[in-house]
A and B are shown apart, each in its own frame.
Chain A
Amino acid sequence: MAVDLAPHLARMHKRIGLTKGPVSRRVEAGELIKFAHSIGETRPLYTDEAYARTTRFGALVAPPTYVSIFPPLLLGVGLLDYEHPFARFLHSDDVVTNDRPICAGDVISGMSRYADAYVKEGRNGQLLFQAAELTLTNQRDERVALVRVVSVSFE
C-alpha cells in the first residue's frame, strides 16, 4: 500500500516562504579555475587571469553553471524537509536566470526560500518534490542570478 504523504505535504506546505541565509562567499580566482577544470573547461577566459583581464569582463569569469556552488551551502542548513518516509533522493530540475556575470573578486550573497512541495505518480510509485529558490546578489547589491532547485524523494 502506498505511503500516505498527505500529513508530510501539509507540514511542508507550512514551510513555504521560510528563508535561510544570507550566506556570503568571496569568489577567488583559484576557486574559479578549479571549478573550470572540474567541468573540463580549459579556455583562457575561465582559467588565465592575465588573459581574462583583457576581455569585456575585466577579470576571470565564472562558467555559466558556477551558481551551482550555492545550493549545497543554502539547502544543507535545514531548509528542505527530510522528516518524510522516503530515504532516497535525486536532483530533478534547475531553473536559472543569469542577470549578470560572476567574476573573480566579487562577493556573492545568497538567500534561499522554501518555494513548494508536491507529489506526482512516477513509473515506480510516488515521487515527492520539494523546490527552493535562491537569490544571489553581488557586492553592489545587484542580482546576479535567481536559481530554482527541485529535489525529488522516493521509496
Chain B
Amino acid sequence: MGIAKFAEVVEGQEIPVLATEVDRLGLVKYAGASDDYTYVHWDHPRMIAEGYPDVVVHGWLTFAFMCRAVTEWAPAEVADVRAYSVRYRRPTFPGAVTCGGRVTARRREGGVELVDLDLWSRDADGQITTTATMTLAEAL
C-alpha cells in the first residue's frame, strides 16, 4: 500500500516488498531498452565457459526493481528520487527477485523534506545480492 502524502513517512517504516521474476528473455529486452549489450547478460555458453551457472542479471535491472518497490510505495506524485548509491554484492542470476527496504531517517535540508532509505534485493535462494541507500525528496 502506497503513501498519499510525504508527511506520512516515519523513521523505521518498512517499504512493502516487491516480488518479481526475471528470465533470460527479460534480460534481452532490458539489453535492448538500455543499449547494454555486455556479453555477461546474454552470452550463455561464454558465461558457462567462464565458470558462472548462468548469465548475470544487469545490476541496473535489479536496482530498477528496487526502485519500483520504492516508487510503488512513494510514487512520483509524492516524492522525487533525489540520490542513490547501489552496491552489487554478488551476481543476481535469472529467477525470483525480491526487493524491500526501510526508512532510516527523516530530515530537512535547505527547506526540503527528505527521507533516507536502506534497500535490499534477494535472489531465489534468499541471499542478498544488492544493497542501496536512497534519498527521497518531497515532490513540490
Do the beta carbons of A90 and B34 come within 8 Å of each other? no
Q: How many residues of B contact A (CB 8 A)?
A: 38
A94/B86 contact (C-beta < 8 A), A39-B68, A65-B67 known: yes
Question: A40-B65, A68-B34 given as contacts; is B83 within 8 A of A90 (CB)?
Answer: no
CB A125 to nearest CB in B, in angstroms, measures 13
How many A-B residue contacts, CB cutoff 8 Å? 99
- A98-B34 contact, Cβ under 8 Å, with A65-B64, A92-B87: no
**A72 contacts B81, C-beta separation under 8 Å:** no
Contact: B50 with A88, CB < 8 Å? yes
Contacts of B82 in A (CB 8 A): 97-98
Complex: how many Å from CA A31 to CA B35? 11
Contact A90 B91 (CB under 8 A): yes
Interface size on A, residues (CB 8 A): 35
Q: Would you give the 0/1 interface string for B34-71, flagging 1 where the beta carbon is closer than 8 Å to chain A? A: 11111010000000001000001011110111011001
Name 21 interchain pairs, CB-CB below 8 A, sorted by A. Answer: A35-B34, A38-B30, A40-B20, A40-B64, A41-B68, A55-B76, A56-B77, A63-B67, A68-B34, A68-B58, A72-B35, A72-B36, A72-B37, A87-B50, A90-B40, A90-B56, A91-B58, A94-B59, A94-B63, A94-B86, A97-B83
Binding site for A on B (CB under 8 A): 20, 26, 29-30, 32-38, 40, 50, 56, 58-61, 63-65, 67-68, 71, 75-77, 80-88, 91, 139
